[in-house]
Chains A and B, each alone.
Chain A
Amino acid sequence: MKTPGLTKLRGSVKVTVRGERIEIFINELAKERIEVWNLRPLAPDRMEMEIVISDYFRLRPLLKKTSCRVHVDKRAGLPFFWIRIFRRKWFLAGFALFFLIIFALSSMVWDVEVKGNKKIATEDILLAAREEGIYPFQWIFRLPEQDKLSKDLTRKLKGTSWVGVSKSGTKVTIEVVEAAKPKNTEMLSPRHLISKTDAVVTHIFAERGQPEVSKNQRVKKGSVLITGVQGDFQVAAKGEVRGLVWHEYTIEAPLVLRQKVFTGEKKERGYLYFGDTAVQIWGYGKVKYEQSQTLTRLDPLTWREWKLPLGWMSEDVMEVTELETKQSPEMTIQRGLERAKLDILAKNGADARIVQQKILHENTDNGKVYMKVLFEVEQNIAEEFPIVHNQGE
């Protein structure tokens, strides 16, 4: 005979019973089949016992009958635990809320990453993904099936052969395999290649079309070098024709070389700027330099990769003086020629090659060197010229 089962679950109380007729009370308990246990006499008219809560409320008539009094000493079991817990319901609610928030935040898409795209802009892919429902702060459980997503995205994004969508944690990775496109072949209309200047042909190579001139042949401006007419067909002539061309340059170069140099004197100014307005913090006062150059450096506040529209601007006002150096006529001529050569290369293509240069005339006057130079340059001379139908006979 032990204590009744599941007393912890049902909840039990330890009570003290006080009264003259305690023995009769015990007999009544037995008669009513009220389950009590651990009856312990404390004093002649006092007894301690344990009882299940539901039975505790059945004690009342018995107590009245035997004129005993009862006092609860100790409560134990789940029902009392719940009452205690319920008293702290807001604490508990916070506890639940915490788990709810953790769960909610972890079931959101936080990051969408696009991989493997070269020609398609990441923004376009993200836009297509957004239409499909993949975007930051979207619930993960609202995302469609992954194979459906990848199918729809593949259909939506032109120029892809496969789009894979994978999700790991709160991050969605969109992997794109771009379709290998055949190279765009230029659709060219029939044309000749003609000479753009008078020249002597040094090299002719016709990739398509019929060469009309040969090496060492003198050609005039506008004469056909490679024709696009091949029998009855008309093609877009293509090829490379190089020739010797004479360029005449009139060069004037000063004997005195002026250069701007920093003296090393400088004045620093510091500004705090907010958007377009800057407030000077230090470096007040006039600048005493005759000539100066100002270097401005912006140092915005950054947070991660974003630049904030406020920060520090520093200005260095540097004194500048002009330095004059006299040069010999030879050096001046050299300098003039170098400049002319750069000009030739800029005008006739980087593959132009100067074969020969000849100073025809040279004259120093008013601190300047005047000269006339003839350059013999080997360069590309071909120019496209469309073949026009219906030339109006």
Chain B
Amino acid sequence: MGRFSRKLRKWSVDFLDLPQDLVFDLPRLTMVGNKQLLIENHRGVLHFSPDKLKLALTDGSLDVDGRGLVIKAIMPEEVLIEGYISAIQYFGTGEKG
């Protein structure tokens, strides 16, 4: 999924007034098989090891488990993870939902 198409999608969702993730600052996960995971709207890295990546969210945290995890790229709001992903765990406080 290209960056442009993603941007376009974001914009169209915004324009058509179908927000959810933006409005509530919710993370948005895009996964390609078990190899690649793009997380938007994260709030920083809490823990990083080959087997486990823990990300902070606006409310709660997200655990990504797997083997040989690599952060392909990281930006203030986005992070792209590669490797063999076996599990994703969401620890939410449930305040905003």
Binding site for B on A (CB under 8 A): 1-3, 22-23, 26-27, 29-31, 33, 35-41, 44, 47
Contacts and interface: CB of A to CB of B under 8 A. Distances in A.
A33 B47 CA distance: 20
Given A1-B80, A40-B70, A41-B69, A23 B75 contact: no
A23 B48 contact: yes
A176 to B, nearest CB: 74
Nearest to A28: B44
A27 B48 contact: no
A30 B76 contact: yes
Contacts of B72: 1-2, 37-39
A3 B70 CA distance: 13
Contact of B45 (A26, A33, A40): A26
B70 A29 contact: no
B88 interface: no
Nearest to A32: B76
Contacts of A37: 72-73
Contacts of A47: 48
Closest 4 CB pairs of A and B: A39-B71, A27-B44, A1-B80, A1-B73
Contacts of B70: 38-40
A41 B78 CA distance: 19
Interface residues of B, number: 20
A33 B48 contact: no
Given A1-B3, A1-B38, A1-B78, A23 B45 contact: yes
Contacts of A35: 73
Given A1-B3, A1-B38, A1-B80, A30 B75 contact: yes
B48 A30 contact: no
Interface in B69-87: 69-76, 78-80
Interface string B40-52: 0000111111100
A260 B70 CA distance: 113
A23 B46 contact: yes
B75 A33 contact: yes
Contacts of A26: 44-45, 48, 71, 74
Interface centre among A29, A30, A33 (most CB of B within 10 A): A30
Nearest to B44: A27
B48 A36 contact: no
Contacts of A31: 76
B92 to A, nearest CB: 20
5 contacts: A1-B3, A1-B38, A1-B78, A23-B47, A38-B71
Contacts of B38: 1
A29 B44 CA distance: 10
